[in-house]
Amino acid sequence: MTSLAHLIEATVFPSIAERRPPRMTRLVRPLEFRPLAKPTAEFERRCFNFLHAHRGVFGIAEIFLCKNLVIDGLVRLQDGRFILVEVKYRLNWSLACRTEWQFRQFQQTPTGHDYPARHAIVVFEEFSADWAKPVGGIESGWRNWYRDYYWPRDRRSIRLSLVRFSGGRLLTAPPTVVRTRR
């Protein structure tokens, strides 16, 4: 058996595996329904199709789908700003941590440098685990998100907003969770 001292002092040379190249595809028509798709993939398809169908209302100039880039997509607004998009079918503490990491990782990629974003949205359908439990009549996931993830800890990178996609509508946080300036 190897001692812990030997284990932490050993030099490791990871094998180099070919990565699939990153790809961004402009969404020019709705994504097709795939009958055997898993619920998470089907939810992602519905989200992007909704954004595509309502791009005029939302001020969207272009929508890009991302492959091998850590995030699900990117939106360019008509005013030229970029918004990163991550879709989560269910959202809880573990997935919130992963989502924040995904946005940070994307920003460090060459593609992230080509498409600088100060804002990101996480589109989800439901909270799960303890995030689904109501506190004061509101699912705790809303407060957890806006307390811990809305502004990454360094406050210099991007603002991460949360949007629920349900019943063919995008729903923002209840007003008792988020106060907006008028």
Rounded distance between C-alpha atoms, residue 25 and residue 74, angstroms: 10
3-state helix, strand, coil in the chain (%, to 5): 30, 30, 40
Res. 10: pLDDT tops 90? no
Average pLDDT over residues 123-150: 95
For the chain, give every domain's residue range: 22-171
**Do the beta carbons of residue 42 and residue 35 sit within 8 Å?**
no
- Residue 107 backbone phi and psi in degrees, to 5: -60, -20
Predicted confidence band at 119 (pLDDT cuts at 50, 70, 90)?
A: very high
Query: What are the distances in angstroms from CA 153 to CA 61, 96, 157, 158, 160?
Result: 30, 14, 9, 10, 11
**Does 155 have pLDDT greater than 70?**
no
Token pair, residue 129, equals: 């685990």
* Average pLDDT value for residue range 77-84: 98
Per-chain mean pLDDT for the chain: 92
- Which residues have a Cβ under 8 Å from the Cβ of 174 and sit 6 or more positions away? 138, 142
Pick the CATH number of 22-171 from 3.30.160, 3.40.50, 3.40.91, 1.10.760: 3.40.91
pLDDT value for 15: 80
Asked if the model's pLDDT at residue 32 lies above 90, the reply is: yes
CB atoms within 10 A of CB 170: 15
pLDDT band at 70 (very low <50, low <70, confident <90, very high): very high
Asked if pLDDT for residue 39 goes beyond 90, the answer is yes
For residue 151, is pLDDT > 90? no
Do 157 and 104 touch, CB atoms closer than 8 A? yes
Examine the pLDDT at 167 and tell me if it is beyond 70. Answer: yes
